Amino acid sequence: MTISSSLNASVAGLTANASKLAAISDNIANASTFGYKRVEADFHSMVISRSGGHYTAGGVRATSQRLIDERGSLVTTTNATDLAVRGRGMLPVTKISEVTSGNGAPQMLLTSTGSFRTDAQGYLVTKSGLVLMGWPANPDGTFPSYPRDTSAGLEPIQTNVNQLTSEPTTSMVLGVNLPATATDSTSAGDIQELTIEYFDNLGKSENLEVTFTPTVPATGSSNEWTMVIQDSADPGVTIGEYTLTFDDSQTSGGTLTSVTTVTGGTYDPANGNVIVNVVGGPMEINIGELGASDGLTQLGDKFAPLQIGKDGSPVGNMTSVEVDQNGLVHAYFDTGITRTIYQVPLVDLPNPNGMVALDQQTYIPSPDSGSFFLWDAGDGPTGDIVAYSREESATDVAGELTDMIQTQRAYSSNAKVIQTVDEMLQETTNIKR
């Protein structure tokens, strides 16, 4: 019985070392696979109770585990949508085949890195067919409240590289100097005109026609102007008229002292804004605070538009898509504007090593891994997302080769034990002769 148990233990040793060699070979084969997680084989002794003072060999059993929480080093690439997770957390992805089939919501898979590029349908997809998933943004770039303990709110990220967009102008800054000599009693009272382009809700170019008319007194200087604002989209209609009075003191000469509203939105002295209604909606115009020199001023004898600022942009084409460290997906347009279109969360689990491993370095949660939670990248226990980067394989080739030598020796030793047991059994058989 003892000799037989020795034979069985050695056979178990051969099987266990063969399993470990399989894990080593898989690790070495994937030494250049981006995002590969190393497999580790552990041995566990099998103990059979003693009987009658004789020891019975129990042998060994091998179990393997994929170390998903181990991370490889990050390498730099030239593709803006090459993504890697730096720290804890996984990227949510799904299969392009499930997206295009239309058979219900696609299953969420998890991966730590991926080289995503736009395909013919605009999806951010890898060469192996994995589509990046995220939460879609509202038109204004904000995000509604999505559930964090389910993937129900996630959608495959799809961009349209042929998309046209524009931003309407909603605010302006007028930094204009009016000639102080124009309000003298000897002045001819010339009207100063200023045309400012803006973009309406459809991306069309329109103009605000702003005229400044000086008040010419009979004697002295009035330091007063009338500002009239008209919209080219509605010709002949005055959308704002204001009486401007400037200071002529030694300390604050040339700055606004008062703004009186005739028509249009009321002047707000706290921020120096007036709000007028163009055809497309309200527009905020900053003319400067009282006593400040960063808006309308009255100095010298020259009319000078010094600083005219406005938001908005004409119609433009999308040129690129990038993901920042917080997982926000930004679309860039050739007009210089940027829009936030998606947010990629990071998925975290209590036991990442308990997930079920699938092809293409993807994983799915299991009862052993625990329930997942969707975090904003950089929040909670998660790390951040690094663009222009890929995660290398977690395999240490030198260490695997060392383990291979040890495994080979152990396998040979078990084979030697089997040979020895065979010789001993042969000797037992020869006793009968």
Q: What is the pLDDT of residue 49?
A: 64
Only one residue has tokens 């000639």, namely: 179
Q: Count CB-CB contacts under 10 A for residue 309.
A: 11
Query: Which residues of the chain are under the pLDDT cut of 70?
Result: 1-2, 49-53, 161-164, 432-433
CB 2 within 8 A of CB 385: no
Q: What is the pLDDT of residue 114?
A: 95
Catalogue the long-range contacts made by 229-236 (C-beta closer than 8 Å, 24 or more residues apart): 229/264, 229/276, 229/285, 231/206, 231/207, 231/278, 231/279, 232/206, 232/207, 232/208, 233/200, 233/206, 233/278, 233/279, 233/280, 234/278, 234/279
Residue 168, CA distances (Å) to 7, 19, 316, 318 in order:
83, 65, 12, 17
Q: How far is CA 241 from the centre of its chain?
A: 46
- DSSP annotation of 377 reads T
| Strand residues in 10-73 grouped as ranges (E) | 39-45, 60-66
Give, for 404, the enclosing helix (H) or strand (E).
Answer: helix 397-431
Q: Count CB-CB contacts under 10 A for residue 329.
A: 23
Spans of all domains in the chain: 2-67+394-431, 78-160+341-390, 169-311
Q: What is the pLDDT of residue 53?
A: 64
Q: What is the pLDDT of residue 139?
A: 83
Predicted model pTM:
0.73
Please give the span between the terminal C-alpha atoms of the chain, in angstroms, as a whole number.
22
Tens of pLDDT, residue by residue over 103-121, are: 778 999 999 999 999 998 8
Q: What is the pLDDT of residue 1?
A: 54
Q: What is the pLDDT of residue 186?
A: 92
**Answer CATH for 169-311 from 2.30.110.10, 3.80.10.10, 1.10.1040.10, 2.60.98.20:** 2.60.98.20
Q: What six digits make up the tokens of 181?
A: 């000599």
Residue 291, CA distances (Å) to 106, 191, 221, 319 in order:
61, 24, 19, 44
- The neighbouring-strand residues paired with 305 are 176
Tens of pLDDT, residue by residue over 48-76, are: 766 666 777 777 888 889 999 999 999 99
